[in-house]
Structure 1
Amino acid sequence: MNIIAIMNDVTAYFKEEALRELHEELEKEGFRIAYPQGKADLLKLIENNARLCGVIFDWDTFSLELCADISKLNKRMPVYAFANNYSSLDVRLSDLQLNVRFFEYALGTAGDIAVKIRQSTDHYIDTILPPLTKALFKYVKEEKYTFCTPGHMGGTAFQKSPVGTLFYDFYGENTMRSDISISVTELGSLLDHSGPHREAEEYIARTFNAERSYIVTNGTSTANKIVGMYSSPAGATILIDRNCHKSLTHLMMMSNVIPIYFRPTRNAYGILGGIPKQEFTRESIEERVKNTPNATWPVHAVITNSTYDGLLYNTDYIKNTLEVKSIHFDSAWVPYTNFSPIYKGLCGMSGDRVPGKVIYETQSTHKLLAAFSQASMIHVKGDFNEETFNEAYMMHTSTSPHYGIVASAEMSAAMMRGVTGQRLINDSIDGAIRFRKEIRHLKAESEGWFFDVWQPDSIDDLECWPLNPRNKWHGFADMDENHMYLDPIKVTLLTPGLSPDGALETSGIPASIVSKYLDEHGIIVEKTGPYNLLFLFSIGIDKTKALSLLRALTDFKRVYDLNLKVQNVLPSLYNEAPDFYKNMRIQDLAQGIHDLTVQHNLPDLMYRAFEVLPEMVMTPHDAFQEEVRGNVESCELDDLLGKVNANMILPYPPGVPVVMPGERLTEESLPVLSFLQMLCEIGEHYPGFETDIHGLHRNEETGKYEAMVLLDSVVHSDSKPSDTVKKHAGKKAVSGE
């Protein structure tokens, strides 16, 4: 921060000369000087340049009205009003609460004024810095000699090697010097939650409307396990979203719990829907407990909020309806919900505590706020045993945390505080809505096809848009009233080929082709479905990036309509298999993949694959224990019926498990196998379009996809495959069989 703005609208000679002297003295103090052209230009400069650290203006021209306008953008911004002997201050007590300091125009005093401005600037920086980051900056400036870890000693070791100097120069001095040991006592301890670390977590809790918050340095994957290890003792029954992140599957593999799965919906586009209201009721849970062997009343529930595609629950309903001791909202994708009123009642920390319950919310701070990768948070409301919880915390936390990650989590909270944070998230929402409207505008004026947006017909209101049963745009059947809401920041574009009701058209453009084209032009898609693309309009997205995306989408339409060769449109794909793609044109590629989709009737197949769960033979924990004992073997995908899986099988997209450890595919869950076979078949037909499927590996010798399954000898005798299933084992499943 080193920019000072001077509103130089003065004409008197003695004022001009005094400001000229001040300009020179401020430059000696290391400041850069900007001269906005009028009030509107100044306010735009403050809004768009975060390095601005002060404003100097002429009292006779602007008075305190300008201070009030500046305060609306940044309450802490130092403002300096210059007056002379003949000026009338006319200041009220409420005016003095604004962050303004008064100086008098006088020649020869510029040096003293510049020093005072430097002091005010230093105080401003000290005020806005959060506690841990402030302590870390101070430690780095002190340049102490350490005889402890890490071994690079503030980067010194790197500079003793030619290749090390390249690494050092790339990351810079401060990155090296701030990578310090837990032995530095003045920074406290992340594991003990002491000193500046504790202050940082208290600071974060106040910012995110939590009673207690924890910084986690290995992502929400770890945060989810910490919450689960504390909340779910061995032998307990838990309720868990079937569309959970794989980290929660890993939790169940680590902790011996009995899962009862919530069953979310899904539409024809493959977009993950929400869990119906009915599943949260006591009657529904009683029935599920009754039909689950060894299950007792659940002690804990895990719900994904928001979904990958941006659907948020009415969390107030869930908190008040679900009869469990603790509820965990896995909110990895929405760390910003506390900073805009449109998310009120739609997130874990919204509102007050719920009597008799503990509410947890885990957030991937790095995903959509400004933090380093792996920076995550756990927020808590309700009474819990902090000492026991911290044991679970320490089980998953390194004794050598990276202080840069910790400080970035705290800094993300600092950035979201007050009017500045509200402006950041509101700008993000506004940018996403403008982009949505532009897509609809381009679609309306395009000849032939263009991309569409998955959203309501009217998006004029600044809100999270409800998915109500009377609406057709969302494509979900039997949607509950006032239960699910679409986050405007998560923008899903639709490609031609599939209608909202699931009907496949005669021609289409699979989204994977568009995704590869965008990648060729430096634009990375967050998630690619069969006929949809997800883009995240986080606070880091500016107009330049949004316009670049619009340009790339219109360019794709142009090259597609011209039917150019794959070699010219997708050179990276062509280089993977030049013989296969030789002379192939882009429309031929799109139609070929679309025809495979039609052949397998993908919308129906995908719906049925996620509608019917495989048979749970044993818990994920028991299945993993058999795997580590070595009681597993490799099984070809086509022979998977009747076998008990050792690991989860999880295709990307959509990034949620279709088979859990300890589950067996039967005739009833045949669509799951058909869905996996279809994904593999597309990759076999079209090189470069292979689906990443966690839990399946390709045998280099046979070319067949295989999974790890448990040996029949370790599967309980009363859970052997039925005779019907045995007849299907080894027979390739196809859609509709």
Structure 2
Amino acid sequence: MRTDPVPKNGNGTENDAGSPVVRAPSVAITPPSTLTPPDARYLPAAPASPGAPASPAAPPSPAAPPSPAAPEIGTPSRAWRIRADSWEFLGYGLKQLSTGPTGPTGTRQSGLSGQVNRALALLESVELYWAFPGLSILGRLRGLIREAQYQEALELVDGIRARMCRAKSVPELPGPGFSDSADAAVQEAFQITSDRPRFEVLVVDDIPEQDAEALKSDMLAQRRPADAFSYCVNAVPSYEDALVALLLNPDIQACVLRPGFAIRASRPLGSDLKRVVSRHVEGGLERLRPIDRILRLAERIAELRPELDVYLVADVAIEGLAGSLTRRFARIFRREDRLDLHLSLLAGVAARYETPFFTALQEYSRRPASVFHALPISRGGSVGNSPWIRDMADFYGQNLLLAETSATSGGLDSLLDPHGSIKKAQTLAARAFGADKTFFVTNGTSTANKVVHQSIVAPGDIVLVDRNCHKSHHYALMLSGAQVAYLDAYPLDQYSFYGAVPLESIKKMLLDYRRAGRLDDVKMITLTNCTFDGIVYDPERVMEECLAIKPDLVFLWDEAWFAFAAFHPVYRRRTAMAAAAKLEAQLRDPDFILRHERQARELWDRETGEPAADDAWLRTRLIPDPAKVRLRVYATQSTHKTLTSLRQGSMIHVFDQDFEQLNGEAFREAYMTHTSTSPNYQILASLDIGRRQAELEGFALVQKQADLAVSIGQAVARNPLLKKYFRILGARQLVPEQFRETDCSMPLSQGLSAFDEVWRRDEFVVDPSRLTLDIGLTGIDGDTFKHDHLMDKYGIQVNKTSRNSVLFMTNIGTSRSAVAYLVEVLVKLAESFETEKRTLGPRGLRALEARIAILSTAPPALPDFSRFARRFRGGTTPDGHLRAAYFETYKEGATEYVEPAELAARVESGQEVVSAGFVTPYPPGFPILVPGQVITGNALAFMAALDTREVHGFDPGLGYRVFTTDWLSSDS
């Protein structure tokens, strides 16, 4: 029975964007004169402070719009935005109040004062979880507002906002005499040096407020001017408060746990956050010993924010604890070890901040050198004195030229045989992404895929592969000599693209090979996670069930578009490396072993040793045999696509229990086969520094990118004009019902708990940062909409379109201004469509309606893989000799070109026509035809309906390249 993990909102209805129909906040950037009070639904509630004035109702006006209701902590995914808006509105409101009352009765002034107090109450409820500005400064601010000292309050808020924005020039404490009366916490917060990276330390301990302030002061007293980083300290009293802080506050880089903390949150939590936190709070925690509670909290921190350093401070005999706790804590201290704790906090962040290769490259560029090797551009030698290409140095800068070299001396290391800075940079990347090993690739994930395939697959090995994988996989399989068995993803015919491969289809193919006696020949399976269009697998379940059928199956997950996912707690569980780590832990769990034994008794005949019928295996969620399974998992990622890296910067992540024994040498040979002996050092350096950024601020950036995408979806869903022409496609449109246990179209718009629930339960989910915009009602095809309307007219760049959709992607560099501009452009386009429609006569309207009808109805069905021609198959199973078909085309007389019309006639007449090459529309870059594939009328009809301008392997002037009939019938 289908369930919805999210209670309905408002009137119990939900639109296709998964948003409450009754709410419609503005998404545009608002000028200061019309600032709207922040949406309080998404932040904590707190009782009004004593003495806070009541909030009289003010008549709606541009300067003082109605204030929202009292807040509670809603969804953490939006907290960063609402918090920033709250401080911005507070500054605006105080500025207005400081200018004095307006009107004869000051009604507007009174209403604005109420809104300012509500904004302040909202901030007081959330700032508990931030060290800066902290509750002490907020208390000071409330006192100024209560005494109507609005100018002084405004100066304090301006200082806070400047510090929060990491401004280079930060004001001193404001107000005459204020510094003398300010307490130590306020003074300390404003005296942080702003030219050093700074972070926050979370201390979890239930101690009185006075002791908490003394603790903070004591820790901060250890700081020195020579420290590489600066930090603030925040103390929360409970287990739940610690989890809330970690979800809300991305500035936290270290946690210090001290015995004595409580379990329950000190403030009321909203329903969304309560559901999220409850999933990480086990029952009966109060009954556990303090050390066991601490261990549980440390484990939960590792689940939510594995990049953070966790320290234990205790007064017990820590010598006896150290051996058993090392895995959970970076270090264990007694309370008096203040300086060591301080130095450890800095060292922990320094370990993530370290960029071995980038640093080595910087140092090399600063050294004097004389170049007597290849690469004239090195040190700018061929550029600096040239009157003809001097503009190259002007454009790229001198550092680029100084850092160019072909030498591996001076700490620069060799990519093909790393022993120094590159090796260390790759080790740090493996830690960041949860891999056993990581390898840098400087010519894209296409090359990364070729490396992995060649290292694993030998000629004759069978590889199961999604036919819709990127074309690099198909070329890699051809080069490796694999026997290719194509899997079909579920089609989304209405939108002319594919989803993902159902687990049932994968299991069925493995069982077919078992029945045919060829399961031992199956070596690897290759799947794309997530797809170009944002469809995400459940890798843990896929690997778990596949390994129950074939315990040594190797997995290659193409995560070209999913590198960012490792740095968010919900996304992370659907990455290959996280899933592999969880599976490895489960395989050691005694309960998991017992579950397998019980299931084995049902699926295997005890007397004959034969498996039960395939139907029973297909109906059952399979549990692999821990005694037989070997976890061999690879992931390829385009760092340059979704994290910070120069173009072609990619990584290969490895979680292979048999790597050194079975694949180490082959991998190194494959790596050298496909890697340039002259790798681009700038790309390598960018991979190194991109990893640093991901570890230190990835959580904040990924949270932001997903939230901004949701705001676009909500804007489209709520704007009456936009809804006439556009629709954001959610899970209901992109994931068929049989693959969903839940029924939430855009779960993140309903809160983090819904997002978490859906991503735990459904077979396929949709990445919220991918927005597929249905444009069928505009009457404009996707390619024309992209080029003529978005890119040429407004400078909005997008990667992919289909015949009636455009794919927008937010990323870690997307800004709120960019989001507002996109919404503004869509509104302008909708207005232009309205204007154009009004000018059309009857004939023009009929033509428009005809175009809309074409784009709104399903085109020719997406073509599944047909079959390999008999000449290129090895038996009754579906795999084929892709390599043999590819190289057969090299022989004279083997192929010919046939125009589309003639080819269609041949196919319709029943003749078997076989493709002699790859035919690949780009984007998205997967082949409609491969060498050796029998061409069908469905494939030709689909190609005829495509509006993609770039099709690799098809020559419009010559047609399709196919094998000649004579050649196929010969024995050549």
After superposition, the C-alpha distances for 1:622-671 in whole angstroms (9 at most, x for unaligned) are 12212234433222223333332221112235432111111121xxx321
Specify the code of the residue in structure 1 equivalent to 2:813.
Answer: G
Post-superposition offset of 1:59: 9.9
Task: Give the conservation status (yes or no) of the 8 Å contact 1:182–1:400.
Answer: no
Paired residues, number: 597
Task: Kindly indicate whether residue 705 of structure 2 is the aligned counterpart of residue 428 of structure 1.
Answer: yes
Q: Which consecutive unaligned segments of at least 5 residues does structure 2 have? A: 1-152, 174-178, 201-209, 226-345, 585-628, 747-759, 873-880
Rounded to whole Å, the distance in 1 between the matches of 2:919 and 2:666 is 33
In structure 1, what is the equivalent of residue 578 of structure 2?
Answer: 350
Q: Is the aligned partner of 1:674 residue 2:937?
A: no
> Structure 1 residues 413 and 90, CA, compared in 2 at 3 Å: closer, same or farther?
closer
Query: Is the contact between residue 646 and residue 708 of structure 1 (CA under 8 Å) also seen in structure 2?
Result: yes
Q: How does 1:120-199 map to 2 (within 5 A)?
A: 128-199=353-424
Equivalent AA in structure 2 for residue 334 of structure 1: F
Residue identity in the other structure for 1:411: I
| Structure 1: distance between partners of 2:722 and 2:213 | 62
Residue 254 and residue 62 in structure 1: after superposition, are their counterparts in 2 closer, same or farther (change >3 A)? Answer: farther
Equivalence for 2:896: 633
- Measured at CA, do residues 711 and 128 of structure 1 come closer, stay the same or move farther in structure 2, by a change above 3 Å? same
Q: Which runs of 5+ in 1 are unaligned?
A: 1-35, 80-87, 104-120, 459-464, 475-479, 498-506, 567-582, 680-688, 700-704, 720-737
- Are positions 1:709 and 2:937 aligned together? no
CA distance in 2, matches of 1:127, 1:295: 44
Which of the numbers 673, 693, 717 marks the counterpart of 1:440?
Answer: 717
CA RMSD, aligned part only? 4.1
In structure 2, the partner of 1:402 is 680
**Cα distance between partner residues in 1 of 2:510 and 2:460:** 18
Post-superposition CA distance 1:553-610 (Å, at most 9, x none): 11111222222899xxxxxxxxxxxxxxxx9999788656556658xx643x133x23
Alignment-derived partner of residue 622 in structure 1: 884
Give the 3 Å change call, closer, same or farther, for CA 596–94 of structure 1 in structure 2.
closer
> Does residue 1:547 correspond to 2:805, yes or no?
no
CA separation of 1:595/1:446 partners in 2, compared to 1, >3 Å: closer, same or farther? closer
> For 1:587 and 1:366, how far apart are their aligned partners in 2?
45
Query: Aligned equivalents of 2:800 and 2:389: distance in 1?
Result: 36
Does residue 610 of the first structure (1) align with residue 855 of the second (2)? no
Report what 2:505 is aligned to: 279
* Structure 1 residues 653 and 591: alpha-carbon distance in aligned structure 2, compared to 1, 3 A threshold: farther
In 1, Cα distance between the equivalents of 2:399 and 2:843? 51
Greater alpha carbon shift after TM alignment, 341-350 vs 529-538: 341-350
CA distance in 2, matches of 1:100, 1:339: 31
Name the counterpart of 1:329: 557
* Aligned-residue offset at 1:228: 0.4
Task: Indicate the SS of the match to 1:398.
Answer: coil
Q: Secondary structure at the match of 1:214?
A: strand
**Secondary structure at the counterpart of residue 474 of structure 2:** helix
Deviating more after overlay: 428-437 vs 511-520: 511-520
* Structure 1 residues 253 and 47: alpha-carbon distance in aligned structure 2, compared to 1, 3 A threshold: farther
Q: In 1, are the aligned partners of 2:919 and 2:954 still within 8 Å (CA)?
A: yes
> Deviation at 1:37?
6.9
Q: Which has the higher contact order (CA 8 A, sep 6+)?
A: 2
Deviations 1:376-401 (A, max 9, x none): 00001122133331111111101111
Residue 653 of structure 2, aligned match among 372, 379, 404: 379
Find the counterpart in structure 2 of residue 468 from structure 1: 740
In 2, Cα distance between equivalents of 1:392 and 1:671 = 38
Tell me, what secondary structure is at the counterpart of 1:159? Answer: coil
Counting only pairs closer than 5 Å after superposition, residues 636-715 of structure 1 correspond to structure 2 as 636-640=899-903, 641=907, 642-665=912-935, 669-679=936-946, 691-699=949-957, 706-715=959-968
| Structure 2 equivalent of residue 77 of structure 1 | 198
Q: Following the alignment from structure 1 to structure 2, what is the Cα–Cα distance between the partners of residues 67 and 204?
A: 35
Inter-partner Cα distance in structure 2 for 1:135 and 1:562: 59
Q: Is the 8 A contact 1:236 1:296 kept in 2?
A: no
Structure 2: distance between partners of 1:66 and 1:138: 38
Aligned residues of 2:721 and 2:830 also touching (Cα < 8 A): no
Deviation at 1:271, TM superposition (A): 3.6
The offset of 1:508, in angstroms, is 3.7
Amino acid at match of 2:959: E
Instruction: State the alpha-carbon separation in 1 of the partners of residues 190 and 843 from structure 2.
Output: 57
CA separation in 1, counterparts of 2:816 and 2:397?
29
- Matched residue, 2:766: 486
Say yes or no: does 1:558 pair with 2:831. yes
| TM-score, normalisation: structure 2 | 0.56
Q: CA deviation at 1:713?
A: 4.4
Instruction: Describe the SS at the equivalent of 1:559.
Output: helix
Query: Match of 1:319, as an amino acid?
Result: M
Q: Check the 8 A contact 1:616/1:663 in 2, yes or no.
A: no
2:741 is the alignment partner of 1:513: no
SS in 1 for 2:380: coil
> Structure 1 residue 677: deviation in Å?
2.2
How much does 1:184 deviate? 2.6
Q: Specify which of 535, 542, 565 is matched with residue 318 of structure 1.
A: 542
The 1:193–1:43 alpha-carbon spacing in structure 2 relative to 1, beyond 3 Å, is farther
1:678 and 1:654 map into 2 onto residues whose CA distance is 16
Distance 2:652 2:631 in 1: 16
The residue type equivalent to 1:276 in the other structure is P
Deviation at 1:319, TM superposition (A): 1.5
Q: Go from structure 1 to structure 2 and tell me whether the alpha carbon gap of 1:75 and 1:238 turns closer, same or farther (over 3 Å shift).
A: farther
Work out the CA distance in 1 between the residues paired with 2:771 and 2:528.
18
CA contact (8 A) 1:75 1:99 kept: no
Q: Distance in 1 between matches of 2:967 and 2:486?
A: 24
CA change 1:276–1:179 in 2 (3 A) is: same
Q: Which amino acid aligns with 1:610?
A: D
Going from structure 1 to structure 2, the CA distance change for 1:557 and 1:91 (only over 3 Å counts) comes to closer
Residue deviations 1:493-536 (CA, integer Å, cap 9, x gap)? 11234xxxxxxxxx844333322201121111221112211011
Cα separation, 1, equivalents of 2:447 and 2:722? 49
**Does the C-alpha gap of structure 1 residues 159 and 74 become closer, same or farther in structure 2, counting only changes over 3 Å?**
closer
Secondary structure at the aligned position of 2:555 is classed as strand
| Counterpart mapping for 1:96-115 below 5 A | 96-97=218-219, 101=223
Which letter maps to 1:658? I
Task: Give a deviation string over 1:172-210, Cα, whole Å, max 9, x none.
Answer: 101111122143352111111220000000010111111
Assess, with a 3 A threshold, how the Cα gap between structure 1 residues 611 and 715 changes in structure 2: closer, same or farther: closer
What is the aligned partner in structure 1 of residue 149 from structure 2? none
1:101, 1:228 → 2: CA distance? 51
Quickly say closer, same or farther: Cα 1:100–1:508, change in 2 above 3 A: farther
1:299 pairs, out of 523, 539, 543, with: 523
Is the CA contact 2:640–2:649 (under 8 Å) kept in the aligned structure 1? yes
Tell me whether 532-541 or 88-97 shows the greater mean CA deviation: 88-97
Q: For residue 6 of structure 1, what is the aligned residue in structure 2?
A: none
Between the aligned partners of 2:643 and 2:156, the Cα distance in structure 1 is: 31
- Name the aligned partner's letter for residue 952 of structure 2: H
Give the aligned partner of residue 391 of structure 1.
Answer: 669
**Matching residue within 657, 681, 693 for 1:415:** 693
Work out whether residues 731 and 765 of structure 2, in 8 Å CA contact, stay in contact via their aligned partners in 1: no
1:129–1:290: structure 2 CA closer, same or farther, 3 Å change rule? same
Q: Do the aligned partners of residues 277 and 43 (structure 1) sit closer, same or farther apart at CA in structure 2, a change above 3 Å counting?
A: farther
State how far apart, in whole Å, the 2-side matches of 1:296 and 1:718 are.
30
* TM-score normalised by structure 1 residue count: 0.72
CA distance in 1, matches of 2:828, 2:647: 32
Decide whether the 8 Å contact of 1:265 with 1:276 is kept in 2.
Answer: yes
SS in 2 for 1:533: strand
Instruction: Measure, in 1, the Cα distance between the counterparts of 2:655 and 2:156.
Output: 44
Cα distance in 2 for partners of 1:450, 1:624 equals 45
CA deviation profile, 1:147-170 (whole Å, cap 9, x unmatched) = 223211222211233331011211
